[in-house]
C-alpha cells in the first residue's frame, strides 16, 4: 500500500482535467498494445533525460497527454512520468483478459469494491497455498455478472475464489495479486469520486 501511494502521490494533486486526460490515455493503452509500448517508451525517455525531451506522437490517443506533460514544470513532469510508468508496470504484469475485465469493471463502476476485496486478499499469506476466507460481503455485488467478473479477475491472478468467500491461492500469486491491487488502486483514484 505504501509503495502504491508513493508512486501515485502526484495524481491527487492534479486538476480534474489533467487527471481525466491521464485516465483516458491509460484506458486507451489498455486496449492497444502498440500504444501501450509507445507510452511506456516515452515515459522512460522522460525519466532518463535531464532536459531536451520532446513528446511527439502520431496517435490521437496520446496527443492530449503529451501536450499536458510537455507544458508541465520539470519536477511535476518527473513525478507524472514516474506515476504513469508505475501504472503501466502494474498493467503489464496482468494478462490481456484481465485488462479487458478491468475496463468492464470501470464501465460498471465496481472498481472500489474490487479494490477492497484485493486489498483484503493481500492481508493473507498467499504463498502458502492454504485456503482462507475473505468477508463474503466483499463479493456481494448488485448483479451476478459483476460478481462473476470479479471472481474471474482475481482467479487470473492466481487466487480461486468461491461465492462464500473461501479462497485458495495457486502458484504463489502474491506478485500477480499485488499488480492487480496497484492497477485497481490507480484506476479507482483516477476515475474520481463515485
Q: Which tens digit of pLDDT belongs to each residue from 69-115? A: 988 888 899 999 999 999 999 999 999 999 999 999 999 999 999 99
Confidence category of residue 51, pLDDT binned at 50, 70, 90: low
pLDDT, mean of residues 147-169: 93
Choose between 127 and 63: higher pLDDT.
Answer: 63
Q: Which H or E run contains 46? A: helix 33-48
Confidence category of residue 49, pLDDT binned at 50, 70, 90: confident
pLDDT value at residue 24: 96
- How far apart CA 138 and CA 10 sit, in angstroms, is 29
- How far apart CA 181 and CA 2 sit, in angstroms, is 12
C-alpha torsion sign, points 73, 78, 81, 83: negative
Domain residue limits, the chain = 2-93, 97-190
- Least confident stretch, 47-51, 87-91, 158-162, 180-184: 47-51
- The owner of cell 503501466 is 88
Q: Which of 106, 107, 85, 101 is nearest to 36 (CA)?
A: 85
Its pTM surpasses 0.75 = yes
pLDDT, mean of residues 164-182: 90
CB 156 within 8 A of CB 175: no
- Adjacent-strand bridge partners of 166: 133
pLDDT value at residue 52: 62
DSSP β-ladder status, 166-169 and 132-133 = antiparallel
- How far apart CA 182 and CA 153 sit, in angstroms, is 14
- The owner of cell 498494445 is 33
**Distant-in-sequence, close-in-space partners of 167: CB < 8 Å, separation ≥ 6:** 121, 124, 131, 132, 133, 134, 159, 160, 161
Confidence category of residue 1, pLDDT binned at 50, 70, 90: confident
CB 9 within 8 A of CB 79: yes
Interaxial angle between packed helices 174-190 and 111-122, expressed in degrees from 0 to 180 and rounded to the nearest 10: 150
Confidence category of residue 194, pLDDT binned at 50, 70, 90: very low
> Does the pLDDT of residue 119 top 90, yes or no?
yes
pLDDT, mean of residues 137-143: 92
Amino acid at each position: 500500500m505504501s509503495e502504491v501511494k508513493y508512486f501515485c502521490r502526484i495524481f491527487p494533486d492534479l486538476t480534474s482535467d489533467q487527471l481525466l486526460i491521464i485516465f483516458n490515455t491509460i484506458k486507451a493503452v489498455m486496449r492497444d498494445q502498440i500504444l501501450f509500448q509507445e507510452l511506456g517508451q516515452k515515459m522512460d525517455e522522460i525519466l532518463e533525460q535531464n532536459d531536451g525531451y520532446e513528446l511527439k506522437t502520431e496517435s490521437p490517443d496520446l496527443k492530449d497527454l503529451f501536450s499536458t506533460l510537455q507544458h508541465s514544470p520539470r519536477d511535476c513532469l518527473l513525478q507524472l512520468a514516474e506515476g504513469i510508468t508505475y501504472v503501466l508496470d502494474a498493467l503489464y504484469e496482468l494478462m490481456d483478459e484481465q485488462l479487458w475485465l478491468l475496463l468492464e469493471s470501470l464501465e460498471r463502476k465496481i472498481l472500489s469494491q474490487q479494490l477492497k476485496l484485493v486489498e483484503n486478499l493481500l492481508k493473507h499469506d498467499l504463498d502458502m497455498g492454504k485456503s482462507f476466507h475473505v468477508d463474503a460481503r466483499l463479493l456481494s455485488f448488485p448483479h451476478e455478472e459483476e460478481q462473476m467478473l470479479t471472481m474471474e479477475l482475481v482467479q487470473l491472478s492466481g487466487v480461486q475464489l468461491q461465492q462464500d468467500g473461501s479462497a485458495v491461492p495457486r502458484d504463489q500469486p502474491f506478485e500477480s495479486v499485488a499488480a492487480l491491487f496497484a492497477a485497481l488502486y490507480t484506476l479507482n483514484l483516477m476515475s474520481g469520486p463515485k
